[in-house]
Amino acid sequence: MNNFQTNLTQLKSGMVALVGVPSDENSSFLRGPAQAPGQIRRVLHSGSDNLCAENGHDLGREPRLLDVGDLPLGPGTWQADGAPIITQHIANLLDREARVLSLGGDHAVTFPIVQAFAAKYPDLTILHIDAHSDLYEEFEGSRVSHACPFARIMEAGLAKQLVQVGIRTLNAHQKAQAEKFGVEIIHMTDWQPGMALNLAGPLYLSLDLDGLDPAFAPGVSHHEPGGLTTREVIDLIQAIDVPLVGADIVELNPVRDLVGMTTAVAAKLLKEIAAKML
Amino acid sequence: MNNFQTNLTQLKSGMVALVGVPSDENSSFLRGPAQAPGQIRRVLHSGSDNLCAENGHDLGREPRLLDVGDLPLGPGTWQADGAPIITQHIANLLDREARVLSLGGDHAVTFPIVQAFAAKYPDLTILHIDAHSDLYEEFEGSRVSHACPFARIMEAGLAKQLVQVGIRTLNAHQKAQAEKFGVEIIHMTDWQPGMALNLAGPLYLSLDLDGLDPAFAPGVSHHEPGGLTTREVIDLIQAIDVPLVGADIVELNPVRDLVGMTTAVAAKLLKEIAAKML
Amino acid sequence: MNNFQTNLTQLKSGMVALVGVPSDENSSFLRGPAQAPGQIRRVLHSGSDNLCAENGHDLGREPRLLDVGDLPLGPGTWQADGAPIITQHIANLLDREARVLSLGGDHAVTFPIVQAFAAKYPDLTILHIDAHSDLYEEFEGSRVSHACPFARIMEAGLAKQLVQVGIRTLNAHQKAQAEKFGVEIIHMTDWQPGMALNLAGPLYLSLDLDGLDPAFAPGVSHHEPGGLTTREVIDLIQAIDVPLVGADIVELNPVRDLVGMTTAVAAKLLKEIAAKML
Amino acid sequence: MNNFQTNLTQLKSGMVALVGVPSDENSSFLRGPAQAPGQIRRVLHSGSDNLCAENGHDLGREPRLLDVGDLPLGPGTWQADGAPIITQHIANLLDREARVLSLGGDHAVTFPIVQAFAAKYPDLTILHIDAHSDLYEEFEGSRVSHACPFARIMEAGLAKQLVQVGIRTLNAHQKAQAEKFGVEIIHMTDWQPGMALNLAGPLYLSLDLDGLDPAFAPGVSHHEPGGLTTREVIDLIQAIDVPLVGADIVELNPVRDLVGMTTAVAAKLLKEIAAKML
Amino acid sequence: MNNFQTNLTQLKSGMVALVGVPSDENSSFLRGPAQAPGQIRRVLHSGSDNLCAENGHDLGREPRLLDVGDLPLGPGTWQADGAPIITQHIANLLDREARVLSLGGDHAVTFPIVQAFAAKYPDLTILHIDAHSDLYEEFEGSRVSHACPFARIMEAGLAKQLVQVGIRTLNAHQKAQAEKFGVEIIHMTDWQPGMALNLAGPLYLSLDLDGLDPAFAPGVSHHEPGGLTTREVIDLIQAIDVPLVGADIVELNPVRDLVGMTTAVAAKLLKEIAAKML
Amino acid sequence: MNNFQTNLTQLKSGMVALVGVPSDENSSFLRGPAQAPGQIRRVLHSGSDNLCAENGHDLGREPRLLDVGDLPLGPGTWQADGAPIITQHIANLLDREARVLSLGGDHAVTFPIVQAFAAKYPDLTILHIDAHSDLYEEFEGSRVSHACPFARIMEAGLAKQLVQVGIRTLNAHQKAQAEKFGVEIIHMTDWQPGMALNLAGPLYLSLDLDGLDPAFAPGVSHHEPGGLTTREVIDLIQAIDVPLVGADIVELNPVRDLVGMTTAVAAKLLKEIAAKML
């Protein structure tokens, strides 16, 4: 019943494609994020709230926003060095001159997605909001673990600049990796609400929900207390002043989201990101 | 077993009446708030904490605070244009020269309550803390929906001034309504902790718990992330420097309050509001 | 299967002993904290996250940090005026010239623990983070209730200075006790992030998790909204600039910690405290 | 994004249509069942289990089973005496000579659905599994409340025979109604596993999940302990030996289904019912 | 605000008094049952269901059933050998020739309650439904622990006959106690649904909710799997054919009753017991 | 801090070794079972209940039962065709002439465990309690998935007889596999409480907790309603009359076990199995 290929034909230049990437087999601790795209859509369309972003942009009446459905992924999607099927699907969306907002999945999906973006945008900047730097050379025997995507991205030269916000667990290996790749890290201990980030464009935003404090986003696989508030993340998004050409929202784990609060956070951030992309 | 009429006779001039309004049939998405008054009382009297407000005022030993119980409401309470039974009961409390602090119920109850207040206080100011402006002309076919009370209040001229704090979802219709009625809205994107509000008195405070961020108050029917902290709401209450003649605490949904945290927030805010009223 | 005595022999001068104190029979409202030490260890060793503190100190590779297990406590541990078995066990750890970080239990354990510390450090300063002052002369007939430890500590002259942060429920009796004992209280209404505390050393930190707002730590027996954020507590710990010779983390109630978020907060704060002690 | 009209065109004679009826505005206590159809589909397609019924029939490979999506319902669907839009949509499905399995919604939906069935099948028998008889003449002022559908059905002569199983709360009014309409009630106190029911065909099965004991189906609005086991309900379905032309599964309330167990029960029973219909 | 003394005056001969006993300080593992009486009342009066017992007796319209409120208990209620305040209050109810149905509290309350019953009924039989025999001579240093009430009752000769159903954890000490006191135990391994019990009257029923399997009653402090179903307990109650003069429902722990299912079980059993008493 | 090697030296002939196998990387839908061994131990030693089996055997005082801790497993444990490290560890336990009761992990662990047993017991019978037959030739690209262990066991001729109880989802592939390997399946539709199984000895019991109905064991990754009661599984264990030389309890998922009920079921069954082994 997946209508991805059918929906794709309606995507036109200048539109924003909303796409689900239901993949969590590269998670090291808990599975669950593969269920996230469906849950976020359910909240968006539950009638619990309207579809307005905070700037008044009513996404429910915006013809340029198209939900193309979930990528049709099955066994064999992932290989030792990436997921070429995901890369190809995202490339198809970009070929139609659309911007792409993907709903994960775990953070492993960012590497094959950014492979597609880098081919389109050679001078990409990435803003990465997360509790963890995800810079492991390999993790528990895998180079495509959800702990590794930014090592893969940087070693392949897919981004001109990588800025990380929310980081609060950096061991010696990750610190060495960050230095090797020239990653700009704003540690939580140094974070001040309202800090200005120097971001060049075009920009890709990779938003791991565990960058927020677990008080605001308990429905994630890894609880790392001491993080950002939802309002601080909204402010970061609203302050973006370069073209936002792509984004992902990853690591929502519905299994841990007992009353749906974290899914509501994902839906709220989706609205703010989409409003900024349009 | 409802003792409302009996308790009423003990209410004297200068006292504060605590009253439950167990009504949620005007909620659009989830029911549950009708169970809130009983749950808040249970937490207040659980022995989990003492009954002191933060200014040291011990409400447990305050003879001027009287819990008159729940309004005796049944089928037929609500009509297409209001709930005259609720209005009459509140008017009876006000006739005894008492101040009134009501525990909702959903937000629909504020309209019939304020009808009673407006008859007593012709120059009422309302401070409205909420994620939503609740200014819909009508919602899903109803003019007394919990999405409409402030449209009803303003079109009837029941308040001289309406100030809204915490708002973070305003669509075009609500924006037009706000302009039409001269509502002063402080959007969350513009909110700064410690902001001074210019409030004339006498003041009525309408506190929808979804004005708080769902991290602080997950037990509500509508999760709208990016809101106020509990401390910011306490600060708003403690900063009130005009006579606070009435207040409501609405939209607590015990069905979603798995470990009782949001009920504890309601009980805490009740103590701060009552201490300010006395 | 308790290996406490065996482990003890590995403790050397200059090390930090991590020790569980599984005792909750002095709790007035809910039991549960006796299960906390095991749950915190489970999260620490779950592989969900690494064992690095935010300053990069990798506790997983730190030979000076030794988990000596749980104190072997049974019926009869508590007497009307203390728990000499706990005091003796802690004294044995201190005799080996180690610093001690204990995982509660409820807050009653702090009194017998501090008895051991006072014998070793006659000029102890205590930093106490909590929603409540715990200064009751007696509570519900008990002088060793979890509402009383700091009355016992101060009347016995076990601390030179007691500074309390996070307090937001002080009734007349507690206020009188605070004045009598010269306790320095920073009420939440007066709290500002980044406030400097004037602490003399050597320092003992007593951290009741309900000092945090229940949004950040819902898994406690007493929900007192309006408290500290996890980041503010981390900042308080990282700002300590005197020798931190002992600490306890108390009142985690796993029964209320449905998805493990509060246990993760306890584990996070354990890492920051241990890194400061080493 | 509702594809109901499009999907409808694929429905052929001899097929079984699966259709969602997301309506819960006639619920007296809690809302939530409107979210049920989407949640049941999510579990069915989660990959958690295969789509085989217990008789080995693999529904995932069955071309005669067509999910036509959710009925497009909005404000105004319900009128004082029914929901003609629902009746019309179901009639359209039946006109294509299909059997229809609907996912509620609360129990109010059964009345407009059965109106369509009665027009097609003049000698309909209804097997009704429920804790409650739902025979109220009116409830809290409404004649289309979820407490009333079988009063409406029987007074309109829409069924030749009504057999109720699982009933365990019959007050005097309902008892009088049952006698007036000739309802055959098998009370839980009289129930024996394996009891044979004398059902004439064609048969319509109306399955309220609160007919099961809340141990098996906690995710419903009304907990009425002492009910059927899931296995007993499966046995009832598998024992049907007359043509099963229609069925509904109603009153799943995802708000109360914290770990998804009740949704799994709904999905399991859906498979057994569909296999019996094919 | 406790109206116990006032309500008492309305109690007449031949009536059934419903009374709350909010006491849980004798629980060995978790507290919480003190909150049970209020929660059961909330469910009874929530409007979720009617107040009919399964025999059609409508308790909502039964003038002989009087809820006298909660016993006013405070610190000092419990002494080393009992709780004379509880005994006295229950004796006052019995003096008015009423039958008494009490809502616990933990199981410790049964001893002081039965002391009052034994004075009134010298030839009392007790039917005790529980996972545990609660026959400990003492437990963790206490003789009034919730693990001891039936040792106290039998050694004082307060019952002529004690029949226990549901037992599934009997160690050597408890086995010796059972033999010493002539307790008739029906172990779960020997239990058959529909077994007849030879009970002489007058009868007192002590119902510990952990006698049910935790699938049916998860909201208890001690989960002992392999127990009775709710239907089996209802059948036991409905089969009583001697005068049922008193009963208690104990060990409901609302802290563990996330969606209220166990409270609903307690309310259901309350209705069946009250209908049998009237 | 893993003491497995140390503990091993205490294992003597005729003893029963309790061992944790914390492995869940072969789960297809959710992770979590790797946390199960620690959680089961926590419940066993929580003091919530005594350690008696239902036959009165007090395991807390049984010197022949030894908890040897968790197998020290890390990345690389699993290879495409098994987990030789697990097999070797279990073989070491068996070499000491002990019986072995392992706590999973997911069901993938049964294959390497049974490899060790088959080397010791050439004529092994396996009793397999489960909702699923786990006979997939391969699943989502893996031959060691938790959906495959009994295909591996039977094709390698590791068991003389395989009897499966509780099965309620058999597709065509699994049915063909069952016929090919001569598996004796008792489907839930054919199950009767008290059925006798013809089991030859020596016996290995593999107990997947999802064989129980999710009402009794909600804390599993795959909810398959319509299963066994806890009492029925206890009866199956108690009825074993051949030597029980080994057993595993697998697929407990603490992530879904909100109030610990399923962990209590695992601990209960552990006691019954251990008592049968001794």
Whether A31 has its CB under 8 Å from any CB of chain C: the answer is no
Q: Among F168, F223, F258, F265, which would you mutate to test the D interface (most chain D Cβ atoms within 10 Å of its Cβ)? A: F223
Q: Do D33 and D252 form a contact (C-beta atoms < 8 A)?
A: yes
Whether D146 has its CB under 8 Å from any CB of chain E: the answer is no
Q: Which of F175, F189, F225 sits opposite D264 (nearest CB)?
A: F225
Q: Do A165 and A129 form a contact (C-beta atoms < 8 A)?
A: yes
Whether C258 has its CB under 8 Å from any CB of chain F: the answer is yes
- Chain B residues within an 8 Å CB radius of A58: 171-172
Token representation of residue F181: 């390997």
Backbone angles phi, psi at E121, to 5 degrees: -120, 95
Token representation of residue C272: 């920051």
pLDDT of E98: 97
- Chain F residues within an 8 Å CB radius of D236: none
Contacts of C147 (CB under 8 A, 6+ apart): C28, C107, C132, C134, C136, C139
Q: What is the mean pLDDT of residues D138-147?
A: 94
* Residue D100 to chain B, least CA–CA distance (Å): 27
Whether F13 has its CB under 8 Å from any CB of chain D: the answer is no
pLDDT of B209: 98
- Chain B residues within an 8 Å CB radius of E35: 42, 46
Q: What is the mean pLDDT of residues C36-59?
A: 85
- Chain C residues within an 8 Å CB radius of F39: 42
Q: What is the mean pLDDT of residues C31-36?
A: 89
Number of B:D CB contacts under 8 A? 22
DSSP string, E19-72: EE----TT-SS---GGGHHHHHHHHHTSSSS--B-TTS-BGGG-TTEEEEEE--
DSSP E230: H
Whether E226 has its CB under 8 Å from any CB of chain F: the answer is yes
pLDDT category at E47 given cuts 50, 70, 90 is low
Q: Which of F45, F46, F258 sits opposite C258 (nearest CB)?
A: F258
pLDDT of D1: 39
* Residue D8 to chain A, least CA–CA distance (Å): 14
Whether B42 has its CB under 8 Å from any CB of chain D: the answer is no
pLDDT of C100: 98
pLDDT reading at C95 higher than 90? yes
Token representation of residue C202: 């050597």
pLDDT of A49: 66
Residue C115 carries which side chain, given as an amino acid letter?
Q
Whether F223 has its CB under 8 Å from any CB of chain E: the answer is no
Cis-peptide into E105, omega within 30 deg: yes
CATH of residue C246:
3.40.800.10
Whether C239 has its CB under 8 Å from any CB of chain A: the answer is no
pLDDT of B75: 83
* Whole-number Å distance between alpha carbons of D137 and F108: 56
Q: Note whether F52 contacts E28, CB cutoff 8 Å.
A: no
* Residue F182 to chain D, least CA–CA distance (Å): 18
**Could you read off the pLDDT of E66-117 as tens digits, one per residue?**
999 999 998 889 999 999 999 999 999 999 999 999 998 999 999 999 999 9
**Could you read off the pLDDT of A234-261 as tens digits, one per residue?**
999 999 999 999 999 999 999 899 989 9
**Could you read off the pLDDT of D248-263 as tens digits, one per residue?**
999 999 988 998 999 9
pLDDT reading at B47 higher than 70? no
Of B71-80, C84-93, E1-10, the one with minimum mean pLDDT is E1-10
Stretches in chain F below the pLDDT threshold 70: 1-2, 47-49
Whether A169 has its CB under 8 Å from any CB of chain C: the answer is yes
Q: In this complex, which chains have at least 3 CB pairs below 8 Å with chain D?
A: A, B, E, F
Token representation of residue A170: 């950096």
pLDDT category at C214 given cuts 50, 70, 90 is very high
- Chain E residues within an 8 Å CB radius of C30: 30-32, 255
Q: Note whether C42 contacts F46, CB cutoff 8 Å.
A: no
pLDDT reading at D131 higher than 50? yes
pLDDT category at A128 given cuts 50, 70, 90 is very high
Whether E231 has its CB under 8 Å from any CB of chain D: the answer is yes
- Chain D residues within an 8 Å CB radius of A35: 42, 46
Q: What is the mean pLDDT of chain E?
A: 94
* Whole-number Å distance between alpha carbons of F17 and F246: 10
Q: Which residue from A minimizes the CA distance to F35? A: A29
Token representation of residue C34: 């006796």
pLDDT reading at E257 higher than 70? yes
pLDDT of E1: 39
Q: Among B7, B19, B35, B261, which would you mutate to test the E interface (most chain E Cβ atoms within 10 Å of its Cβ)? A: B35
Contacts of F95 (CB under 8 A, 6+ apart): none
Q: Which residue from B minimizes the CA distance to C191? A: B231
* Residue C143 to chain E, least CA–CA distance (Å): 13
Whether F239 has its CB under 8 Å from any CB of chain E: the answer is no
Question: Containing domain of residue F186, as a range?
Answer: 4-72+80-277
Q: Which of C168, C218, C226 sits opposite B259 (nearest CB)?
A: C218
DSSP string, chain A: ---HHHHHTT--TT-EEEEE----TT-SS---GGGHHHHHHHHHTSSSS--B-TTS-BGGG-TTEEEEEE----TT--BTTB-HHHHHHHHHHHHTT-EEEEE-SSGGGHHHHHHHHHHH-TT-EEEEE-SS----S-BTTBSSSTT-HHHHHHHTT--SEEEEEEE----HHHHHHHHHHT-EEEEGGG--TT------SSEEEEEEGGGB-TTT---BSS---S-B-HHHHHHHHHT--S-EEEEEEE-B-GGG-TTSHHHHHHHHHHHHHHHHH-
* Whole-number Å distance between alpha carbons of C73 and C85: 8
* Residue F212 to chain E, least CA–CA distance (Å): 11
Q: Which residue from D minimizes the CA distance to A7? A: D1
Q: Note whether E35 contacts B45, CB cutoff 8 Å.
A: no
ipTM (interface predicted TM): 0.94
Q: Which residue from F minimizes the CA distance to D270? A: F225
Whether B230 has its CB under 8 Å from any CB of chain C: the answer is yes
pLDDT > 90: percent of chain B: 81
pLDDT of E16: 97
Q: What is the mean pLDDT of chain D?
A: 94
Q: In what order do the strands lie in the sheet with E161-167?
A: E65-70, E16-20, E99-103, E244-250, E203-208, E125-129, E161-167, E184-187
Residue D169's region, left for phi above 0, alpha for psi from -120 to 50, else beta, is beta
DSSP B65: E
Q: Which of C38, C46, C258 sits opposite F42 (nearest CB)?
A: C38
Q: What is the mean pLDDT of chain A?
A: 94
pLDDT reading at D37 higher than 70? yes
C-alpha count within 13 angstroms, C-beta hemisphere, residue A201? 9
* Residue C1 to chain E, least CA–CA distance (Å): 20
* Residue D53 to chain A, least CA–CA distance (Å): 20
* Residue E189 to chain C, least CA–CA distance (Å): 30
Q: Note whether B171 contacts A230, CB cutoff 8 Å.
A: no
- Total count of domains within chain F: 1
Q: Note whether D225 contacts E50, CB cutoff 8 Å.
A: no
Q: Note whether E226 contacts F49, CB cutoff 8 Å.
A: no
pLDDT category at B4 given cuts 50, 70, 90 is confident
Q: Note whether F30 contacts A32, CB cutoff 8 Å.
A: yes
Whether D156 has its CB under 8 Å from any CB of chain F: the answer is no
Token representation of residue E231: 């239907």
pLDDT of D42: 85
SS3 B163: strand
pLDDT of E116: 98
Whether B213 has its CB under 8 Å from any CB of chain A: the answer is yes
